[in-house]
Amino acid sequence: MVEANEIPKWMDQELFVEFLESDFGDLKSIKEFQVEPTAGKGENYTTLLLRASFTIELNASSPDGSQRRTSYMAKVLPTTVSTRDFVTTWKVFEKESNCYANYLPDFEQMYREAKKKVTFGPRYYKHSKELNEELIVLEDLSRRGFRNVNRQKGFDMVHTKAALEKLAQFHAASAVRFELKGLYPEMYDRNLCSTEDNFKEFREQQSKTFVQSLPFYNAAHMQKTIEIYSQQAEDMFQAYAPKIENEFHVLNHGDAWCNNLMFQYDQEGRLRETYFVDLQMSRYCSPAQDLLYMILTSANGDIKIQKFDHFIHYYHEKLTENLTLLKYPKSLPKLKSLHQSILSYGDWIFPIVTVLLPIVLVDANENANMDALLGKEGDGVGDQFRNSLFHNARIAQHLKEVLPWAHSRGAFDVVKTASTSVD
């Protein structure tokens, strides 16, 4: 967990008074205030997520009694200087604030006008104070019973389909909004708006360890192919969205893995609602990006490959259904074209299998943080963490399914030159 001394000193109760006054018109005073981290090691790498809890006193005339407890979620920059510096350049706070303040309300209003109630995420609280720090304040969804699925178990069929349906609703609204209001800002051309490549050494180390680990996944025969591919592979997180003529484009969530979806259940335990969080890496491009990302990182290992084409078909049904509902003015995207885009976006598979999926499946431990991942902690901590990512039975089980499937689809094809030789 984040230590208490890592909680920002500027995070005081005064920051939240305007939100408390908005939620409780009869607020009299704050009796107790506490800030604590919400995620353990291995649950969040790029930002610090805090819960601000309050005991408040209401005016005596309040029908609910004089005291209430409430809480908010606060997202801030990480406390380590090295991580803060490059996260700041990514524009993730600017992108996420814009999504919550502008795009989600627009999308939800479009569905209301079509006589359908759709909610995409928690309530966003826009602070009026001028701050020298990055801050996003959101509704604490746990107060309404929302929770994550265990990332190591992944989504079963019910949760996978719920996530796909919510993606389809989000994507459909974003495509219609584009036709109505025009281009999304330039910062949505990339997941991370880096001004320089801070990850080259990390990618090289990660790829090297991955290639050395391939025999553990019964994939030793792929070592040479993947080694050559890794030397040519672009960093997909910093890459600009490809411009493919006539390709159907949407605003992708951009980081749609299981920890960034929250679920609410009824009294019988049946799934009732699905919300997105962490809209900090959105990119305008083919929905193929979100589909590969979500299914391969987050669907249960028993179904992610076996049911992959079924999931794409299900998503396409929901996408076209919602595009029709929202009166999309162009021809509806065809299922065949979506499959073609998924092949075209196959370069996403490499960062999924070398970075994302290992992080999703690794056991929580003290070294599960961005500095260790980037090898900035010293004393071999990065190497130890990297080895734990690739040498465990859980990742082996998944990659024994994913790698042959990806390889047969040409995901690791290289651009051959006269000097390129693949055994």
pLDDT at 89: 85
Q: What is the dihedral of CA 362, 214, 242, 101, to 10 degrees?
A: 0
Q: What is the reported pLDDT for 32?
A: 97
Q: Look at residue 386 in the predicted model and tell me its pLDDT.
A: 83
Cβ pair 107, 173 in contact under 8 A? yes
C-alpha 267: how far from its chain's center?
28
Domain residue ranges in the chain: 14-76, 144-408
User: Which residues does 246 contact at the CB level (< 8 Å), separation at least 6?
Assistant: none
Helix (H) or strand (E) holding 63: none
Domain 144-408 carries which CATH code?
A: 3.90.1200
Integer CA distances (angstroms), 404 to 18, 48, 154, 155, 206, in order: 54, 36, 20, 22, 20
Q: Round to whole Å and give the CA distance between 292 and 57.
A: 48
Q: How far apart are CA 143 and CA 52, in angstroms?
A: 13
Q: What letter represents residue 354's amino acid?
A: T
Q: Supply the pTM of this predicted model.
A: 0.93
- What pLDDT is attached to residue 83? 77
H or E, element range at 264 = strand 261-265
Res 195: pLDDT: 83
Averaged pLDDT in 10-residue chunks for the chain of 423 residues: 67 95 94 88 72 93 77 90 80 96 98 98 93 94 97 97 98 98 97 88 93 97 97 94 94 97 97 97 98 98 98 98 98 98 97 96 74 61 82 96 97 70 47
Contact 318, 169 (CB under 8 A): yes
